[in-house]
Structure formats: structure tokens, C-alpha cells
Amino acid sequence: MRSRVLKAIIKKDLLEVSRNRTAWVPVVIIPLVFFVFLPALFLLLPRLSFFQSTTMPTNLDPGQVLSVLPEEVKARFAGLSVDQLIPFAILGYFFAPMFLVMPLMVSSIVAAESFAGEKERKTLEGLLYSPTTDAELFTGKALAALLPAVGFSLLSFVLYTVVINTLGYPIMGRIWFPLPGWWPLIFWITPAVAFLGVLVTVLVSARVATFMEAYQSGGMLVLLVLGLVVGQATGIIYLGVLSGMVIGTILWLVDWLLLRFCLRLFSRKVLIGKV
Amino acid sequence: MIQLDCVTKSFGTTRALDGLSLAVRPGEIFGLLGPNGAGKTTTIRLLNGLFPPDSGSLSVFGMDPQKQGSEIRARAGILTETPALYERLSAEENLLFFGNICGISQQKLVQCVFEVLDLFGLEARAKERLAGFSKGMKQRVALARALLHDPELLFLDEPTSSLDPESALQVNDLIRTISRDGGRTIFLCTHNLLEAQRLCDRVAVLDAGKILASGTPAELAAALFPGVRVEIDMEAPAPVNLAEKLAVCQGLRSIQWEGGTALMDLADHADIPGMVATLVSAGARITRVEPRPVSLEEIYFQLRKNHGGHT
């Protein structure tokens, strides 16, 4: 596989996505809303006197908040005041699965643009007649979706870390984030979810005609994230270090199975029948 | 350069190619003519290794497209019916991308891009996105892309079918220039017979996946229309009893009238003076006598008629 060919495909795909506003606007908006605006709002609002007097519970029982959490997490919360407990639990713990929206969204958008978009704009034929191999085409396009998904996720993680440590400092009195469970989430689960987004979108793209159809159908994967959010909130799933590694490993196995299907689908013999 | 022997290919119950055999020699412009659905595009896709044949054998540059498709595509260029270019990218960006995936060295690539842009008169608009280009300009960019890596063989699949007459003429002129100056082999698939007549050294007529005939236009004309065809213009009215006099004229095989013009098929060039003398003696006032070469269109329709196709 020639790295120069892969680089050319990645560069071209990303250039195309960057010139499609429908594709890149959500990529910018979502992290700003989820990982800057919401945490900032959450950390700043309770400190405003108006909200303190009207909305903040004055006699919140930390035991109620902690009741759904595993023992391992409860131990971490020991000694926190009510003011500290809320941001710690929500931003440090319950928010974690929401983070997976980012790699999923970016990979689905770029993959939909790259795979279904080529078909929609009738540019695929030109690529099929090029001297690239099927493996180079697939790898280049998959990387074009995977790399920005992981990159934007890391960037969002850095932003999130800075925002909640900075704005949360007056409450927590120390740098407290990231919690240990976030490391496997960021470096093991996030790439697996991003790759899952790519592969599902490739499979969907083989059956639909347009970028939007592929993106919307691939977007069903958000249900997976919602499942994790609900699971985490109800205490069924706990994204700790070990559980994170296990969930990530399962996702990578699913990716491996899907990859085999995708490679079978992504051959000139199959693709030329769809142009 | 290209060899196909008894190649068949079916898609479901539709037989796209039915025992196709042909050979293309280095340096020639070979035209594969036929109506839509005849199997022309399927032939190009097979030759580029995009899918395998059901049976038969084929080779390009002596290589098997199924095993060495990538090598073949690296030495060949293609222009398809639709340009298949990226409209959000500029002409230059498109060419740089395809140059990179074709393996042109980085040092040479920029120079190659500007050479082809210059050749096709696109230099001034190199930085503009393709979305603002006319169809003809896009097709010129696509032709530039096909030539960027200096291929030995060029596949042209209906290169002008979606263009207006002026743009089609421009693209045809460019194809002629490429063939003349570069000595490349060109495999042209078209249903535009005038285009084929202007460009091709040899042609094959394809219908329902089968070759009806192949050869130079002159060879096909000689086989289908032996003798010579002459157009004779006469002032009206035609002399009385002209038909009777012509009926006994030596060498006359058939005659058709188009207004004041007689279109005559004669056995040989040597029969022309006798025919003219007969007409003059019958009182005809002849204003023009001109041997007319058989057009590719006439050959094509005669072949289709002989093989039971629609004309």
C-alpha cells in the first residue's frame, strides 16, 4: 500500500468535506455546545446569586445522588461537599458516554461524504479507473473519516478538560479532571467508536444513493451512545478503567467483523455496478 | 496493444458481450461503434480490470486486466461520458490529486499539471472550482486528467455525447492533436458516427455484444458497397426515357434520385465517363459529377440492416 496514494485520498476527501457546509457545521457546533457551552453553563449558573436563591437545592442529600453509582465511584466521592458533588458526578461521570457522540458524528459525516457522496456526485467512476488498488481506496477513505474523528475527539477532550478544570476550580479547589475512567474512553473506546461509525456508514452507503441518506442512517448509531448514557445514569453500566477496556475490546471485535464485510463490498467489481 | 478473444459477459439474464474478439494495434485510433447498450462501456471496464469476463481471454499491453489491472490503469488514461471530477475542487486541485494517485513524482507533478492545463487552454481558470465550469470545459479538464501521466493508451467512452456541437468539436480537435502529436493508441467508443469518421483509423461495429464487422472505413465500404458511388446533379426537367437508357448502361448497379441529384452505384471508376456520355446523349444537362465516398453512417446502417438490426 503506497502512503502517497493514501495521503492524496485523505487530503482530497477532507478538502471536499471542508467545502461542504452541511457536513462541517455540526462538526464545529457540537463540541462547542457539548464540551464548552454546557459544562460552562453548569459550572457558572449555580454561582450566580439569582440561581442560588431560586433553583439550587439547599438540603440535597449526597446519598441520593450516589445511590446509583458503583462502590468504586462512591469511594471517590467521599468527602466531597454538595457543591462539589454535583459537577463531579455529572461532568466527571454521567457526561462520559455523551463524549462518544463526537467520534461517531465526525466519522459518520466524513464517511458518508466520502463513500455515498462520491456515488451521489458520480465521481466514483474516475477513482475506479485510477491505478489505485481496492485496498488503497478503502484504506484512504476510511482513514480520511477516522483521523479527523479521533482528532476532533481529542481536541474536544482537551477543551472539556480545560473548561471544567478552569471554571470548576473555585468549586473544587484543585485540578480534578480527567477521572481515571476517561483514559480508556478517550484512547481505546473513542477510536473504536469512530471506526464503527466509518464501517457502518460504508455498509449503509452501499445501499443508499445520497450523502444525506447515508449520514442519517449511520446516525442510528447514536442510539448506542444513548444506551450507554442511560446505562451509566441508571447504574447498569459503569465506564471505569476495566469496564472501559472491556467495552472498547468488544467494540474493536465488532469493528473487525464489520471490516470483513466492508472489504468484500468495497471492490471494483461491486462498486462499478453502482455508478 | 489490446486483444480480446471470444469474450463473453452477462449481467443477470442480459448478455452484454457475446463472443467478442478484436485486436487494437499500437498507435492507431480504433473506434468501437454501436448503439447504447451494445456493450461498448462493458468492454472498456473489462479492459481496465473493473470486473472479470465470464469466459474468453483478454489482454492489454500483454497483461491480464484481472491480475494486473492496477499496472494497466497506470499506463492507460480514460475519459468517460461524464467527467467524474470533483466540482468543489479547482481544476488544478483535481489534477494534482489524480497525478498523485497515478504515481507522478512530486517534482514532476506541478509541471505536468501546468503543461496539460496550458495544452487545453485552462491555465487562466486553473484555480477556479469546477462547479462554475461549462460541460465542455469540464470535459476538457477530464481529458487533461486522462493525459496527465502521459499514458500510452487512451480509452475514450462517448467523449462528446453530453456536449454541445461547439464543445464537441473542440474536444475532437484535442483528441486529434493528442493522437497526432503523442503517437498514442486511442480506443474510442462512440455512437457518434461522424465523430468516428473524423477520428478513427479502424472501426468495429458492435451490436448486442457481437462484432458485426471490423476494418478501416475503406475496407468496410469496399465490402459492403463494392464499386463506386457517384453523385450527378442535373437541371430539371429530366429527359424523357432516361430511365430506359440508363437501364442498359454498362456498370450501373443501382440509382436513387434525391430531387435533381442522381446517386448512382457503378461497378468501377472506369464506368463514369460512359455513364456521363449516356446521360448527355439522352439530353440531360449535367451541372456536377462527383464520386462520393461511402460514409461510416451508411456502412453502419448497412451492417445493422444485414444483421437484422433496426436502421
pLDDT of residue A141: 93
The reply to whether B307 falls in a domain is no
Please report the sign of the dihedral spanned by the C-alpha atoms of residue B183, residue B185, residue B189, residue B194.
Answer: positive
Please tell me the predicted confidence (pLDDT) of residue B60: 96
Rg (CA), chain A: 21
**Residue B311: pLDDT band with limits 50, 70, 90:** very low
8 Å CB contact of B86 and A12: yes
Mean pLDDT of A177-196: 93
pLDDT, position B121: 85
pLDDT the model gives residue B37: 85
* CB atoms B88 and A128 under 8 Å: no
Distance, in Å, from the CA atom of B90 to the CA atom of B138, rounded to the nearest integer, reads 11
Task: Based on the fold, state whether residues B46 and B160 are members of the same structural domain.
Answer: yes
Cα B285 from Cα B288, distance rounded (Å) = 9
Q: What is the mean pLDDT of residues B48-56?
A: 94
How many residues would you count in chain B?
311
Establish if A152 belongs to a structural domain: yes
Please answer yes or no on whether A123 and B84 come within 8 Å at the CB atom: yes
Among candidate residues A120, A126, A249, A264, the one with its CA nearest the CA of residue A191: A249
Q: Are residues B9 and B49 in the same domain?
A: yes
Check if the beta carbon of residue A179 is closer than 8 Å to that of residue A219: no
Question: Same domain for B202 and B287?
Answer: no
Share of chain A above pLDDT 90, in %: 37
Same domain, B100 and B246: no
Chain A touched by B102 (CB under 8 Å)? yes
Is A72 contained in some domain?
no
Tens-place pLDDT, residues B63-109: 999 999 999 999 999 998 888 899 999 999 999 999 999 989 888 99
Above 50 in pLDDT, residue B191?
A: yes
Same domain, B40 and B94: yes
Indicate the angle between helix axes B106-119 and B91-101, nearest 10 degrees: 130
- Nearest-Cα distance to chain B for A9, in Å, is 8
Q: Whole-structure pTM over 0.90, yes or no?
A: no
DSSP SS3 for B189: strand
pLDDT at A170: 87
Whether A180 is covered by a domain: the verdict is yes
- Residue B57 has a pLDDT of 94
Q: Is B217 on the interface with A (CB under 8 A)?
A: no
Check whether residue B90 and residue B164 sit in a common domain: yes
Least confident of A75-89, A132-146, B51-65, B274-288: A75-89
Give which of A123, A129, A132, A141 to mutate to test B binding, by max B Cβ within 10 Å.
A129
Cell of B16: 452484454
Q: Average pLDDT in the B13-34 region?
A: 91
B88:A16 CB<8 A:
yes
User: Can you give the residue range of the structural domain that contains B286?
Assistant: 226-293
Q: What is the ipTM of this complex?
A: 0.82
Average pLDDT over residues B152-178: 84
Please say whether the beta carbons of A238 and A66 come within 8 A: no
Instruction: Kindly state whether residue B310 falls inside one of the protein's structural domains.
Output: no
Calculate how close chain B gets to A223, using CA atoms only, in Å.
Answer: 33
> CA B32, B217, B291: angle at the middle one, nearest 5?
150
Residue B309 located in a structural domain? no
On whether the CB atoms of residues A241 and A178 are closer than 8 A, the answer is: no
pLDDT of residue A56: 46
Q: Is residue B310 predicted with pLDDT exceeding 70?
A: no
Is B298 within the bounds of a domain?
Answer: no
Does the structure show a pLDDT above 80 at B273?
Answer: yes
Calpha distance A170→A173 (Å, rounded): 5
Which value, to the nearest 10 degrees, does the dihedral of the CA atoms of residues A249, A251, A256, A258 take? 170
- Whether A92 is covered by a domain: the verdict is yes
Q: Report yes or no: B302 and B225 within 8 Å, Cβ to Cβ.
A: yes
* Cβ contacts of B238 within 8 Å, gap of 6 or more: B260, B284
The residue to which cell 464489520 is assigned: A258
Residue B97 lies in a domain: yes
Number of domains in chain B: 2
Averaged pLDDT for residues A247-257: 95
Angle between helix B91-101 and A3-18 (nearest 10): 160
Percent of the residues in chain B that have a pLDDT greater than 70, as a whole number:
98
- Give A117's contacts in chain B (Cβ within 8 Å): none
Span B262-286, mean pLDDT? 86
Confidence at residue A61, expressed as pLDDT on a 0 to 100 scale: 59
Residues of A with CB under 8 A from a CB of B: 2, 4-5, 7-9, 11-12, 15-16, 19-20, 121-133, 268-269, 272-273
Model confidence at A63, pLDDT cuts 50, 70, 90, reads low
Among A104-113, A221-230, B23-32, B93-102, where is mean pLDDT lowest?
Answer: A221-230
Residue span of the structural domain in which A125 resides: 3-32+80-274
Q: Which of A185-194, B56-65, B127-136, B167-176 has the lowest mean pLDDT?
A: B167-176
Q: Which CATH number characterizes residue B250's domain?
A: 3.30.70.980
Residue A28: Cβ within 10 Å count: 10
Same domain, B112 and B246: no
**Which of residues 36 through 95 in chain B touch A, CB cutoff 8 A?**
45, 48-52, 69-71, 73-74, 78, 80, 82-89, 93
Q: What is the mean pLDDT of chain A?
A: 85
Residue B151 in contact with partner chain A when CB distance is under 8 A: no
Q: Does a structural domain hold residue B301?
A: no
Residues of B in contact with A122 (CB under 8 A): 82, 84
Total structural domains within chain A: 1
Distance CA B155, CA B149 (A): 14
Quote the minimal CA–CA distance from B61 to chain A in Å.
Answer: 15
pLDDT at residue B309, as a whole number: 60
- Interface probe for B, chosen from A130, A139, A266 (most Cβ of B below 10 Å), is A130
Q: Are residues B209 and B245 in the same domain?
A: no
Task: Give the pLDDT score at B98.
Answer: 95
- Residue B36, SS3? coil
- Give a three-class secondary structure readout of B269-302: CCHHHHHHHHHHHCCCCEEEEEECCCCHHHHHHH
Say what the pLDDT of residue A142 is. Answer: 94
CATH of the domain at B154: 3.40.50.300
**Do residues B180 and B42 share a domain?**
yes
Least Cα distance to B117 among B89, B88, B148, B86 occurs for B148
Chain A contact set for B91 (CB, 8 A): none
Which residues have a Cβ under 8 Å from the Cβ of A250 and sit 6 or more positions away?
none
Within a domain: residue A236? yes
Place A158 in a pLDDT band, splitting at 50, 70 and 90: very high
Angle at alpha carbon of residue A170, lines to A164 and A171, rounded to 5°: 75
pLDDT score recorded for residue B304: 82
Q: What DSSP character marks residue B197? A: H
